[in-house]
């Protein structure tokens, strides 16, 4: 009898403006992974569909590297796997495609290496590899999560937030923006006074979000100073999307993760109209309503 593991791994959006590197939401677009122990003691990666064709199929594959990391950390051996993947999450667009693959790698190492990791140990490992929890935590848990990774002590802190009852519209440009390039434009440090101000904006935004005061939360999301002012120039369509969204009284328009996808939070009565308008006006982008994923990653064992 052969044993396979099937994973359905959500996408995610990080930052929500001022929540840079800490806040994220899981989204209902998925990476699908199927894995079984390989017959020939070699690793095999099969990528199906459009989104994954540029990925490596050797030891540079992120899933392979994550499995290696966990093998070392927990002193176990994971047998070489035959992995088939297909994805609805476009690469290098700020929708957490790497975080989804990273979490998939942790699940595979846990299952085939019989690690018995708790969900929290998974989030700790994922955060240590990624450097921040904003994408990986919602991918694991679903919903909206705020977190902090202390890279001096290697500790991870996670807090759950009730997801906002708004509609989300994503506007996905046809061009890629690699996270590495998008982080290159950020300053190394901030003046104390600026950091105090941005963190006050962030605290108040989160408090407003928890109280479902989307008008205030949205206003504060757009006041980010940690990353948006530096990244906007890398996303030529950002200003236009934001200004059209304002016509539909959107609560906020922010960069999704490291970009270039643009995320708009809007009242459900106006989201459809906004999407139709954006798709009419922007040639280089595709807009759609996307729902919040509440379950996080789902794993299913299949026996044949
Ligand atoms: N918070 C991260 C960033 C998300 O904005 O760079 C992508 O890793």
Do residue 36 and residue 109 come from a single domain?
Answer: yes
Number of domains comprising the chain: 2
Is the beta carbon of 134 within 6 A of some atom in ligand 1?
yes
- Give the DSSP H or E segment for 264: strand 262-266
pLDDT above 90 for 54: no
Find the CATH number of the domain harbouring 224: 3.30.70.890
Do residue 238 and residue 299 come from a single domain?
Answer: no
Decide if 298 contacts 8 (C-beta within 8 A): yes
Find the 136 Cα to ligand 1 centroid distance in Å.
11
Do residue 7 and residue 20 come from a single domain?
Answer: yes
Do residue 128 and residue 18 come from a single domain?
Answer: yes
| Residue 53: predicted pLDDT | 83
Whether the model clears a pTM of 0.75, i.e. scores above it, the answer is yes
Find the 196 Cα to ligand 1 centroid distance in Å.
21
Do residue 10 and residue 74 come from a single domain?
Answer: yes
Find the CATH number of the domain harbouring 48: 3.30.230.10
Q: Tell me which residue range forms the domain holding 144.
A: 3-162+293-303
Do residue 156 and residue 252 come from a single domain?
Answer: no
Do residue 11 and residue 156 come from a single domain?
Answer: yes
In this predicted model, what pLDDT tens digit does every residue of 123-170 receive, in sequence order?
A: 999 999 999 999 999 999 999 999 999 999 999 999 999 999 999 999
């Amino acid at each position: 009898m052969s044993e396979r593991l099937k994973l359905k791994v959500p996408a995610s959006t990080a930052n929500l403006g001022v929540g840079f590197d800490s806040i994220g939401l899981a989204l209902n677009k998925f990476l699908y992974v199927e894995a079984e122990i390989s017959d020939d003691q070699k690793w095999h990666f099969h990528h199906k569909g459009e989104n994954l064709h540029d990925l490596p199929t050797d030891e540079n594959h992120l899933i392979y590297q994550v499995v290696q990391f966990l093998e070392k950390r927990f002193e176990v051996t994971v047998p070489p796997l035959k992995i088939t993947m297909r994805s609805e999450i476009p690469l290098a667009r700020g929708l957490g495609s790497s975080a989804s693959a990273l979490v998939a790698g942790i699940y595979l190492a846990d299952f085939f290496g019989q690690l018995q990791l708790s969900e929290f140990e998974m989030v700790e490992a994922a955060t240590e590899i990624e450097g921040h929890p904003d994408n990986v935590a919602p991918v694991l848990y679903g919903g909206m999560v705020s977190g902090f990774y202390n890279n001096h002590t290697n500790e991870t802190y996670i807090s759950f937030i009730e997801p906002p009852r708004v509609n989300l519209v994503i506007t996905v440009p046809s061009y890629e923006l690699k996270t590495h390039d998008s982080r290159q434009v950020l300053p190394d440090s901030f003046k104390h006074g600026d950091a105090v101000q941005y963190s006050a904006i962030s605290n108040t935004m989160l408090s407003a979000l928890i109280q479902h005061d989307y008008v205030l939360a949205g206003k504060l999301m757009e006041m980010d100073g940690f990353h948006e002012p530096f990244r906007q120039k890398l996303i030529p369509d950002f200003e236009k999307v934001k200004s059209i969204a304002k016509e539909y009284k959107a609560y906020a328009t922010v960069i999704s993760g490291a970009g270039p996808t643009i995320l708009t939070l809007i009242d459900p009565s106006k989201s459809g109209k906004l999407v139709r308008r954006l798709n009419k006006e922007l040639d280089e982008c595709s807009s759609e309503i996307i729902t919040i994923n509440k379950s996080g990653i789902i794993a299913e064992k299949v026996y044949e």
